Structure 1
Amino acid sequence: MASKVKLPKASDLEAGVLGVLRELLPTFRVSEQRTGRQATWDLTFTVRSGRTVRRLLVECKSVGEPRYLAQAITVLKLASQQSPRSYPVVAAPYIGPGGQHLCREARVGYLDLTGNAFLNFNGVLVDRRSGERPPRTKARLRRLFSPKSSRILRALLEQPEQEWTLARLAAEAAISLRTAHLVVNALEEKVFLEKRRGAIRLQKPGALLDLWAENYRIDQHRQRTFYSFLRDPRELAAKLGAHAASQHMPCALTLHSGAALVAPFVRSADVHAYVRGDVDGVAQALDLRPVETGGNTHLLVPNDDGVFYRTQVIEHIPVVCNTQLYLDLLHYPARGREQAEELRRQKLGY
């Protein structure tokens, strides 16, 4: 496993790129050239090995989100076309998987402050991935996938072809305009959506779902486990749904019990459901016995009512929307990934 490249602080990014390149290319002679005032990029370096010489054109970005990387890539690609034997490179404090993919696809090199680096020219290949996110980036992701913010993501992913205004999107997600504005801006930075003349449209639903799934865990919701003497999970689910409806209580199946109604693939005898309300009252009405282990009925108290967004009713039984169902299933240990992938194939289409 490659050792982490020691990169300078963000404020010293431009000053430290030469040292980084020398560490990445120890068998080459790397020297900095003066970058003319007319240049559209930030730094120029010469890389020599014997008689082979290559110029590196480096653009430094203070933020490594895909939106800003795309701008840098456009500048560098034009510059490298006008400068023979040059290779474009982007440098930033942190470049995440989406940004790395964007650079590789454009055949542009990159390096960042956490040890990620990719250079590919003249038979030279440097490919290092640290897998680490700096604290600031982690905090931004937590905010993006927080309970309130994620309401915007559900609305977008459940209706991926829909065009929105900010006001309509905020109303749909039942959040403030300010929160919607912050979330939309963050998604635009990551090039998950585009804004044109006030219209908002999702661009990469699959990539957004993948990033959310990577940062989602079902154990953020409080779970209570019970045992039911009913042998048929479908019958139990129907009784749970009927009781919740009679009490005007938000309720929706999830995990395998929900998937069995939406995209059957994996069999399970357990029932999992989100419930907002008197859980003890539900247990009493359905004759559920609380247990520590060995239960077959699991009632989850959600950390936000967003889990009930676009609840679907199948055979008179409420089930969470397909986006929520996929998120819950993906990391569930009992064949959850298999069922999630089948659900995605059958119902999500991205």
Structure 2
Amino acid sequence: MDHTEQSGEVVLRHGLERLADLLGRTWELSPRTDVTTRGGVDALVDVRPPDGGIQAQLAVEVKSRLTPRQVEDDLLPRWELIKQINSGTNLVVVAPWLDRRTRDLLRERGIGYLDLTGNVHLRVPRPAIVIHTDGAVKDPRGGAQSRAGGPTLAGPRAGRLIRALVDHAPPYRATQLAQLTGLSLPWVSKLLTRLEEQLLIRRDGRVVTEVEWPDLLRARAGSYDLLRQNPFVRMLAPNGSEHVLGNVEPRPHGAPGTYPEVVVTGHYAARQVAPVASGGQLMLYVHDGPHAVDEVADRLGLLRVDAGGDVLVMRSHDEVVFDRWREVDGIPHVALSQLVVDCLAGPGRLPAEGEAVLRYMAEHVDEWRDTGLSTG
């Protein structure tokens, strides 16, 4: 199906066709025509079960796009009005695509949803209807968000700002964040506005007062691909990964604040924090540069291979991956916030390991998060 911009009528028609397919041919969907006195929704649909018993009524809202802020500010008050008019009505949002944050919020507030990529959630008590399916993780319309104006969560600049928001507890202003990250104040302000629309941060005037850091990390990972955005070389460790780690410089040379030559991420780093699985390739970040990988490989005793290998050496897409590095048993590791993003955006078992690290972080916030933002 073409998911480029479509009229509300087309989205509604395709959405009801999808719902009919999910319910099956024995169920009957009957759109009603008079919705002017029913809370101003786009459509009312009667749903009749196969046995001809009690029918359900769906109040359908059609949205080309929907943000969590719009859910909170517009849709929830509308939902309260609809329930006052008819407590037996069930509100359902139909859209071309809904992001995870919006879907989670709708589900928490008892609102059903159906997008044209297959993300569907509908719970009706009478007659009993329970449907939940997962569709596209990313918007199939491609750059629709960028065309709508403003920055997205993709790219190195977003990575720097998100790391700053997660690693430093508020309150703080955009000016402080811009100074800390080296980003332009106008760009920082625009991304903060986008994050506020997603309810990933909250502000009081110009001051950031709350950061939903677990969901912010998940959102960043959804716009990031660990192995695509960090060019990597497959390596073989003839003497094993532990021998490789034994050759890693435990501390960087140079002035305070200097980054290490190598930092560990991925499976090995996650297991040191929240072990949920064994095995997996050793993943190492090195600084970006034409000879960085080969120089590090020589020092660590690694051999290039065309396929397989037990070590991945990655050229970092941005120096932020080294920021706030940790020393674990004498070996440099990425910060916990970077580790979560890397795992959630990685292949295989890494996303599950990333969620385990997130749980650890939630239980030990005081151990890794700064309570103040220093820009001096």
Superposed pair shares fold, TM > 0.5: yes
For residue 145 of structure 1, give the secondary structure of its aligned residue in structure 2: coil
Residues 226-278 of structure 1 deviation map (CA, whole Å, 9 limit, x = unaligned) = 55666672x64354325852696643222344346555676669753211154
Residues 153-183 of structure 1 deviation map (CA, whole Å, 9 limit, x = unaligned) = 2222333x43231122233333222332333
1:15-164 correspondence runs (5 A): 17=12, 20-21=15-16, 24=19, 27-36=28-37, 41-43=40-42, 45=44, 47=46, 56-84=58-86, 85-119=88-122, 120=124, 122-123=126-127, 125=129, 127=131, 129=133, 131-132=135-136, 133-136=138-141, 140=145, 143-159=152-168, 161-164=169-172
The code of the aligned residue for 1:125 comes to I
Does the aligned pair in 1 maintain the 2:63–2:93 contact within 8 Å?
Answer: yes
Does the aligned pair in 1 maintain the 2:39–2:81 contact within 8 Å?
Answer: yes
For residue 245 of structure 1, give the secondary structure of its aligned residue in structure 2: coil
The CA deviation at 1:307 is 0.9
* 136 and 151 in structure 1: CA distance in 2 versus 1, 3 angstrom threshold: farther
Normalised by the length of structure 2, the TM-score is 0.71
The CA deviation at 1:322 is 0.8
* Structure 1 counterpart of 2:357, from 337, 340, 343: 343
Identity in percent: 25
Q: Higher relative contact order by CA 8 Å / sep ≥ 6: 1 or 2?
A: 2
Moved more, 48-57 or 299-308: 48-57
Does the aligned pair in 2 maintain the 1:263–1:343 contact within 8 Å?
Answer: yes
Q: Which residue of 2 is the match for residue 275 of structure 1? A: 286
Structure 1: 5+ residue runs without aligned partners? 1-5
Does the aligned pair in 1 maintain the 2:285–2:315 contact within 8 Å?
Answer: yes
For residue 92 of structure 2, give the secondary structure of its aligned residue in structure 1: strand
Structure 2: 5+ residue runs without aligned partners? 21-26, 366-376
Moved more, 95-104 or 324-333: 324-333
Moved more, 198-207 or 334-343: 334-343
Q: Whole-Å Cα distance in 2 between the matches of residues 225 and 116 of structure 1? A: 36
Q: Which residue of 2 is the match for residue 253 of structure 1? A: 264
Q: Are residue 305 (structure 1) and residue 319 (structure 2) matched?
A: yes
For residue 249 of structure 2, give the secondary structure of its aligned residue in structure 1: helix
Residues 254-312 of structure 1 deviation map (CA, whole Å, 9 limit, x = unaligned) = 23443465556766697532111542333445555444467555432111112112112
For residue 64 of structure 1, give the secondary structure of its aligned residue in structure 2: coil
The code of the aligned residue for 1:205 comes to W
The code of the aligned residue for 2:181 comes to A
Does the aligned pair in 1 maintain the 2:232–2:315 contact within 8 Å?
Answer: yes
For residue 47 of structure 1, give the secondary structure of its aligned residue in structure 2: strand
The CA deviation at 1:144 is 1.3
Normalised by the length of structure 1, the TM-score is 0.76
The CA deviation at 1:321 is 0.5
The CA deviation at 1:209 is 2.8
The code of the aligned residue for 1:43 comes to D
For residue 151 of structure 1, give the secondary structure of its aligned residue in structure 2: helix
For residue 135 of structure 1, give the secondary structure of its aligned residue in structure 2: coil
Q: Whole-Å Cα distance in 2 between the matches of residues 232 and 11 of structure 1? A: 52
